[in-house]
Amino acid sequence: MFEATAQNRRNLKVEGLFRLLFLWMTCMLILPVALILGVLIVRGGPAISWEFLFTQPLNNMTAGGILPALVGTVWLVVVALIASVPVGVAAALYLSEYAPDNRLTRAINLAIINLAGVPSIVHALFGLGAFVIFFRFGTSILAASLTLAVMTLPVVIVATRESLQTVPLAFREACWNMGATRWQTIRKIVLPNSISGILTGVILEVSRTSGETAPIMFTGAAFFLPFLPQGVLDQTMAMSLHLFVISTQVPDVPEHMPFGVALVLISMVLAMNGISIAFRVYLRGRKKW
Amino acid sequence: MPEVAHAADRRDAAWWIDRAVQILVLAGGLSAIVFIAGIFVFITREGAGFVFDRFDFREFFGSPRWTPTSSHNPTYGALALIAGTASVTGLAMLVSVPFSLGAAIYIGEFATGRVRETLKVLVELLAAIPSVVWGFIGLSIMNPLIIQVFDVPVGLNVLNAGVILGLMAAPIMTTIAEDALKAVPDTYREAAEAMGATRWQVTFKVVLPAARNGLVAATLLGVGRGFGETMAVLMASGHSINLPTSPFDSVRALTATIAAELGETAAGSDHYGALFTLGIFLFLVTFAINFAADVFVRGGQRKHRRRGRRPAASANP
């Protein structure tokens, strides 16, 4: 009675085939990237040395190192974080802890989706029009970082909101019942229980911010500046723009240099993401509730 | 009873702090709206001069001649740029829609446990690769490869940029499509399996139709991503003004034009205003795409909530 009919067997065969097809499709998305990483490591690896990382570029960027670009990227990321983390966490707190389900909340959510979806070059135009020209910051680290901050705000908001929402409602209710105000509840119960998730989001933002190129092209990143920035109103070099410049704008760059820069940049970004993911997995394993 | 303070009427320091924080976080929430409005206001402010004085609707959308630096007769036809963006994005979607949906189905419906988690992490890492690195890959790895394999003189073309863009848009589409599959209630799957359907039949006859809206949204967001991508397209597409007739033609995208030319224009000039006008166009199109995707996602969620509730309601009349 329970013997497989020809129909059953055919169905199972079709299922097996489709399973393989989808597995192949998944691999086709991941394999090229693995190959590319391999090529970057093989061709860029020999360029990497302490000297490459920690000396100034020489001879119109055809020799020497990438120190100003590395330092500049750190400046840009740090200033962008200072600007966007408080705002992003506040927005996430509002959306997770306060917002009623009304039109305003829907508008805020739509705005967040759009901030994430607007092309990076449009963010660049905005940064130029608003921070460089209107607020008179000039082309500076400040203007570039604020542009990056606006652009990556959704990353912080979404990650923080998700992390806040993993704190069970019962925790809050218990605290409210003790007579605590909303803020006391958030401060003593919600934030301590979600801080690590928020950190994960911040690390993710660092990764996004350090790789962006278009938004900083006209707002504060310079093609070539052979000294380190002294303050937020200086221009600076940046890793991402440096890769663009030496691979397209400068003639006679020895081949290993752009590969080396690309390898350093992608290592930074993937390391950040890796830390963020590992952190998340660790937290999920340790969760008490 | 004026002597007894009402419990809700405690206006102590904690109450005032609570009030202040409430206003602060509301301000944080509103900032997202302020920024998106600010983007529109500031790019319009810079582009307004051009839009009102020089903008010619028929020229902008009808002429492929983009010669803003010509000294005697500058023209601002964006047709070739739009065609460039459309061809690259179109090819990218041809590559990445089937593969992303296939990957989403595999990760969401077939893979289990450790394999599934690993694949999700890998897809997430794909999304992290910066666009300038993708552009560099197009320039230094894809370019010689295309020249060699297809025997064409230039490897920076629609094909190159399309494949790069397809790989870039795939992670976001896979992630959102997988979310859409996950949003389909398990009761649907169980019902179909109880009828003797195989996993594959469940997926195709039940899950995919139920997740249709979310899948459309995933595709739309992928299109939006491709449409707005700047550095990778600038570096991999060849950046020459063309109405493409084959995948081996070099083209120039809207985004790439702004990135390449803005540095050389004087603030306030026609050329400068024209680039901001391209920006306004990009902003409006991506806004429309994101809005449409949001409507689809919302529609999908509402449908499942409604249908999901029905059996429970009938069980307890």
Q: What is the full DSSP assignment across B54-116?
A: T--HHHHHH---EETT-SS--EE--HHHHHHHHHHHHHHHHHHHHHHHHHHHIIIII--HHHH
- Let me know if residue B93 belongs to a domain: yes
What pLDDT sits at residue B307?
Answer: 53
Instruction: Report the chain A residue with the minimal C-alpha distance to residue B254.
Output: A121
Q: Where are the domains of chain A?
A: 6-47, 50-286
In the predicted model, residues of chain A with pLDDT beneath 50 are: none
What pLDDT sits at residue A263?
Answer: 93
Residues with Cβ < 8 Å from A127, sequence gap 6 or more? A143, A144, A146, A147, A150, A215, A218, A219
User: Same domain, yes or no, for B42 and B169?
Assistant: no
- Write the CATH number for B261: 1.10.3720.10
What pLDDT sits at residue B309?
Answer: 42
User: Same domain, yes or no, for B24 and B124?
Assistant: no
What pLDDT sits at residue A132?
Answer: 92
With an 8 Å Cβ cutoff, is A259 touching chain B?
Answer: yes
User: Same domain, yes or no, for B123 and B38?
Assistant: no
**Helix (H/G/I), strand (E/B), else coil: B132:** helix
B251 strand-pairing partners: B238
Using alpha carbons, list the distances in angstroms from residue A179 to A15, A183, B5, B7, B135: 58, 12, 15, 10, 57
* B95 φ/ψ angles, rounded to the nearest 5 degrees: -75, -45
Residue type, A192: P
Across the A:B interface, residue pairs with CB atoms under 8 Å apart total: 273
- Rounded CA-CA distance B154/B231 in Å is 19
| Residue numbers of the domain that contains B31 | 7-53
Q: CB B230 to CB A214 under 8 A?
A: yes
- Rounded CA-CA distance A234/B237 in Å is 33
Question: Which residues in chain B have their CB less than 8 angstroms from residue A246's CB?
Answer: none
Using alpha carbons, list the distances in angstroms from residue B37 to A81, A207, B27, B30, B235: 22, 26, 15, 11, 30
Identify the burial level of B314 via C-beta atoms within 10 angstroms of its C-beta, where 0-12 means exposed, 13-18 middle and 19 or more buried: exposed
Q: CB B139 to CB A247 under 8 A?
A: yes
- Let me know if residue B67 belongs to a domain: no
Q: CB B18 to CB A182 under 8 A?
A: yes
**Helix (H/G/I), strand (E/B), else coil: A203:** helix
Q: CB B227 to CB A119 under 8 A?
A: yes
Question: Which residues in chain B have their CB less than 8 angstroms from residue A26's CB?
Answer: 102-103, 106-107, 119
Question: Which residues in chain B have their CB less than 8 angstroms from residue A120's CB?
Answer: 131, 228-231, 255
Contact B47, B273 (CB under 8 A): yes
In Å, how far is B181's CA from the nearest CA of chain A?
A: 15
* B 201-260 → A contacts, CB under 8 A: 201, 221, 224-225, 227-231, 235, 255, 258-259
Question: Which residues in chain B have their CB less than 8 angstroms from residue A222's CB?
Answer: none
What pLDDT sits at residue B32?
Answer: 93
- Rounded CA-CA distance B250/B237 in Å is 6
**Which of B168, B298, B297 shows the shortest CA–CA distance to B222?**
B168
- Let me know if residue B72 belongs to a domain: no
Contact B197, B108 (CB under 8 A): no
User: Same domain, yes or no, for B165 and B273?
Assistant: yes
- Rounded CA-CA distance B16/B10 in Å is 10
User: Same domain, yes or no, for B292 and B229?
Assistant: yes
- Let me know if residue B63 belongs to a domain: no
**Helix (H/G/I), strand (E/B), else coil: A233:** coil
With an 8 Å Cβ cutoff, is A120 touching chain B?
Answer: yes
User: Same domain, yes or no, for B43 and B86?
Assistant: no
ipTM of this complex:
0.89
- Let me know if residue B68 belongs to a domain: no
User: How far is residue B235 CA from its own chain's centroid?
Assistant: 19
Residue type, B237: S
Instruction: Report the chain B residue with the minimal C-alpha distance to residue A204.
Output: B128
What pLDDT sits at residue A126?
Answer: 95
What b/e string do you get for B114-149 counting C-beta neighbours within 10 Å, with b at 16 or more? eeeeebbbbbbbbbbbbbbbbbbbbbbbbbeebeee
User: Same domain, yes or no, for B165 and B217?
Assistant: yes
Q: CB A33 to CB B129 under 8 A?
A: yes
Question: Which residues in chain B have their CB less than 8 angstroms from residue A186's CB?
Answer: 21
User: Same domain, yes or no, for B243 and B280?
Assistant: yes
Instruction: Report the chain B residue with the minimal C-alpha distance to residue A131.
Output: B42
**Which of A7, A4, A21, A30 shows the shortest CA–CA distance to B203?**
A21
Q: CB B22 to CB A218 under 8 A?
A: no
In Å, how far is A99's CA from the nearest CA of chain B?
A: 8
Contact B254, A87 (CB under 8 A): no
B137 strand-pairing partners: none
pLDDT tens track for A3-52:
778 888 888 888 888 889 999 999 888 888 888 889 999 998 888 888 88
Question: Which residues in chain B have their CB less than 8 angstroms from residue A115's CB?
Answer: 32, 35-36
What pLDDT sits at residue B308?
Answer: 46
User: How far is residue A43 CA from its own chain's centroid?
Assistant: 26
* A 84-113 → B contacts, CB under 8 A: 86-95, 97-99, 105, 107-113
What pLDDT sits at residue B259?
Answer: 92
- Rounded CA-CA distance B302/B307 in Å is 9
- Rounded CA-CA distance A209/A74 in Å is 10
- Rounded CA-CA distance B142/B136 in Å is 9
pLDDT in tens, chain B (317 residues): 455 555 556 678 888 888 899 999 999 999 999 999 999 999 999 888 888 888 888 888 888 888 888 888 888 888 999 999 999 999 999 989 999 999 999 998 888 888 888 898 888 888 889 999 999 999 999 999 999 999 888 889 999 999 999 999 999 899 999 989 988 999 999 999 898 888 888 888 899 999 988 899 999 999 998 888 999 999 999 888 888 888 888 999 999 999 999 988 888 888 999 999 999 999 999 999 999 988 888 776 666 665 544 333 333 32
Last residue of a domain, one of B53, B70, B91: B53
What pLDDT sits at residue B159?
Answer: 93
> Counting every residue, how long is chain A?
289
With an 8 Å Cβ cutoff, is A115 touching chain B?
Answer: yes
User: Same domain, yes or no, for B48 and B129?
Assistant: no
* A 186-205 → B contacts, CB under 8 A: 186
**Helix (H/G/I), strand (E/B), else coil: A137:** coil
- What are the tokens at A249? 């704008």
Q: CB B279 to CB A270 under 8 A?
A: no
Cα end-to-end span (Å), chain A: 47
Question: Which residues in chain B have their CB less than 8 angstroms from residue A118's CB?
Answer: 36, 39, 228, 283, 286-287
Contact B165, B88 (CB under 8 A): yes
* A169 φ/ψ angles, rounded to the nearest 5 degrees: -60, -35
Instruction: Report the chain A residue with the minimal C-alpha distance to residue B48.
Output: A129
Identify the burial level of A228 via C-beta atoms within 10 angstroms of its C-beta, where 0-12 means exposed, 13-18 middle and 19 or more buried: middle
Q: How many domains does chain B have?
A: 2
Instruction: Report the chain B residue with the minimal C-alpha distance to residue A112.
Output: B32
With an 8 Å Cβ cutoff, is B164 touching chain A?
Answer: no
With an 8 Å Cβ cutoff, is B275 touching chain A?
Answer: yes
- Let me know if residue B13 belongs to a domain: yes
Q: CB A121 to CB B255 under 8 A?
A: yes
Q: CB A113 to CB B290 under 8 A?
A: yes
User: Same domain, yes or no, for B111 and B36?
Assistant: no
**Helix (H/G/I), strand (E/B), else coil: A83:** helix
Please state which of the four CATH numbers 1.10.3720.10, 3.40.50.150, 3.40.640.10, 1.10.1040.10 is assigned to the domain occupying A50-286.
Answer: 1.10.3720.10
- Rounded CA-CA distance B315/B317 in Å is 6
